[in-house]
Structure 1
Amino acid sequence: MTRQATVRQAIPSERHTWRGGGARRPKVSLCIPAYQAGEFLRDTLDSVLAQDFPDLEILVVDNHSTDETPAILDSITDDRVRVVRNESTLSAAENHNLAVELSRGEFVKVISADDTLKHNCVAAQAAVLQSNPDVTVVASRTDFIDDSGALLFKARGLRGLLGHKTGEQVIRQIVRSAKNPVGAPVSVMFRRSDFDRCGGFSGPHVFTLDMDLWARLLGLGHFYGMPETLAAYRIRGGSLTALTSARSQLVQQDTFTRKLIDDPRWEIRYMDKLLGKLNRYDVLFKRVMLFKLSSVRASRRSRNPVR
């Protein structure tokens, strides 16, 4: 069965539509793939509903959740929000693609159901795409927060990637750094037309799902890295990254890096490859420690709840 057929069968109904019949095409679509997201979904929705950019839609695809996610979505009355519920649970790549495929905006931002946006994020990133037709990916710096929303680290990401960069410059930085210097989807905005042209999210490797899309989008145009911090990425124990073993993360990163190196478009140099090999274990160690720190904080809060 093709992914398209699976996607069509997965849409039982739309619980919210645009006021006036839903015919108007917004400038920006904020797409939220949600699965068992009840613990943090309200924070995410509050942050997207607080955007100071008026011409947007918010599309939430509930991936057959059995927790309080459906109840939270039923409580939303804002007519900018549309909700679609899957009849069965799709893979992460399928659900992310479905969220974008159902969107109607010219510009698209995918937001995990536990991350949040600063109030001016959409306006600032849409302005970059509007004024730079050669840019296919715009990204901002991101705060790292823990389960409770407390700050872990400020203004992360985009090291060496601020300002206007070619796709080749970004790809080489990915190889050198042995990580995702662009950032998670919450930090990125792109054009819907470019997403369709490059084929969307492509599995099966969940850990490199975002980077793989950024690389293919950068095959169509340039990159712009914003110095502002416009989003927050939640480091939590139950996330897909945390549930992926360190060994699997390393294998997936190596496989993805090899694909970039083997692509003649990027002209990866020997020094880029050498730096990537030197950095790969250090990056993995720091990532594992970051998630452990968030888990330790959560455990301490559960033992010593605020009275």
Structure 2
Amino acid sequence: MSSETEVAQGVELARPKVSLCIPAFQAGRFLRATIDSVLAQDFSDMEIVVVDNNSTDETRLILDEITDSRVRVITNRTTLPAEDNHNLAVKLSRGEFVKVISADDTLRRNCVAAQAAVLESNPDIALVASRTDFIDDAGALLFAARGLRGILGRQTGEQVIRRIVRSAKNPVGAPVSVMFRRADFDRCGGFRGPSLFTLDMDLWTRLLRIGHFYGMPETLAAYRIQGGSLTASISARTQLAQQDSLTRRIVDDPYWRVPHVDRLVGKINRYDVLLKRTVLFKLSSLRAFRQRLRLGWRWHTN
């Protein structure tokens, strides 16, 4: 693929096809694994933009050790709200296509190439997503090939929106499973807070007003279920309130014309979904605790 060029301070710079954006905060525990998976991609026409949100752990030390020329590191002087740090990472990117990756998630080697190919060959697709493995703190598999239930293949925005309402969750997936066009991101206003739990879903709904969706049957990424993550720290009641708020905005929007039956099914599903999500995070925390106990026992016996 040929790259466009842009001029910066009188110097012509090659514009990459894809930008991989990693907003990082207190990410030292898993950041190395995330960056290793990104650098291992079998797609060459890309850049990696990491924005350290004023971390105080080993995040900065890990980033200082990276010598790969594809990686650009920006360090915030103050800690920004999560949505602002996400937006900054994308704003500083130069690629035509963008993928936002949480600093504890990982990609399979062919992820970027496969998703970029979909966007390149389908100009009417605004959002492409793959299935995702769920892993725990230790990297062990919790659940394989999750997401995209009922929305595999080419889908209209309306079809995906109806699935969001009916399922009472995020069937598209987390940012690590998604790729979109930078121009569409700018056009729809980027990430919008303050609801952290629905930060990505809110963006997906606005991108779906611009173009169609494509759900890939392949599993191309891994989403880490962390007991101590920002998402896990949000109580089940708060998650429910934020999901309800997003759903109300969707069903009140005449653009989507969501049928009443979808709204009813969503109300039935909402509590079951949050119960399962709470159990999932607790399971990951329990596994991590047992892992620490085993490591402590081995250290003591040695």
The offset of 1:24, in angstroms, is 1.2
The offset of 1:302, in angstroms, is 1.1
Give the counterpart letter for 1:286 in structure 2.
K
Q: 1:164 aligned to 137, 154, 162, which one?
A: 154
Counterpart residue number, 2:229: 239
Q: 2:104 aligned to 114, 139, 149, which one?
A: 114
Counterpart residue number, 1:139: 129
Distance, in Å, in 1 between the alignment partners of 2:81 and 2:219 is 30
Summarize deviations over 1:49-101 as a string: whole Å, max 9, x none.
Answer: 00000000000000000000000000000000000000100000000000000
2:293 aligned with 1:303, yes or no? Answer: yes
The offset of 1:212, in angstroms, is 0.2
Distance, in Å, in 2 between the alignment partners of 1:258 and 1:173 is 14
2:274 aligned with 1:255, yes or no? Answer: no
Summarize deviations over 1:134-167 as a string: whole Å, max 9, x none.
Answer: 0000000000000010000000000001000000
Give the counterpart letter for 1:90 in structure 2.
L
The offset of 1:22, in angstroms, is 7.9
2:170 aligned with 1:186, yes or no? Answer: no
Counterpart residue number, 1:100: 90
Distance, in Å, in 1 between the alignment partners of 2:56 and 2:293 is 27
TM-score, structure 1 normalization: 0.93
Distance, in Å, in 2 between the alignment partners of 1:172 and 1:220 is 16
Give the 3-state SS of the residue equivalent to 2:256 in structure 1: coil
User: Given the superposition, is the C-alpha separation of residues 85 and 280 from structure 1 closer, same or farther in structure 2, using an over 3 Å criterion?
Assistant: same
Aligned pairs for 1:1-307 (under 5 A) are 23-305=13-295, 307=298
Percentage identity across aligned positions?
75
Distance, in Å, in 2 between the alignment partners of 1:107 and 1:38 is 27
Give the counterpart letter for 2:120 in structure 1.
Q
Counterpart residue number, 2:5: none
Distance, in Å, in 2 between the alignment partners of 1:175 and 1:48 is 32
Give the 3-state SS of the residue equivalent to 1:39 in structure 2: coil
Give the counterpart letter for 2:288 in structure 1.
A
Give the 3-state SS of the residue equivalent to 2:273 in structure 1: helix
Counterpart residue number, 1:3: none
Distance, in Å, in 1 between the alignment partners of 2:91 and 2:255 is 28
Summarize deviations over 1:241-289 as a string: whole Å, max 9, x none.
Answer: 1000111000000000000000011110011001000000000000000
Distance, in Å, in 2 between the alignment partners of 1:210 and 1:254 is 15
Give the 3-state SS of the residue equivalent to 1:172 in structure 2: helix
Distance, in Å, in 1 between the alignment partners of 2:254 and 2:158 is 11
Give the 3-state SS of the residue equivalent to 1:52 in structure 2: coil
Give the counterpart letter for 2:197 in structure 1.
F
Give the 3-state SS of the residue equivalent to 2:13 in structure 1: coil
Give the 3-state SS of the residue equivalent to 1:304 in structure 2: helix
User: Given the superposition, is the C-alpha separation of residues 287 and 22 from structure 1 closer, same or farther in structure 2, using an over 3 Å criterion?
Assistant: farther
CA-atom RMSD in angstroms: 1.1
The offset of 1:178, in angstroms, is 0.1
Give the counterpart letter for 1:222 in structure 2.
H
Distance, in Å, in 2 between the alignment partners of 1:239 and 1:70 is 19
User: Given the superposition, is the C-alpha separation of residues 69 and 260 from structure 1 closer, same or farther in structure 2, using an over 3 Å criterion?
Assistant: same
Structure 2 unaligned residues grouped into runs of 5+: 1-10
- Runs of 4 or more above 4 Å deviation: none
Summarize deviations over 1:103-150 as a string: whole Å, max 9, x none.
Answer: 000000000000000000000000000000000000000000000100
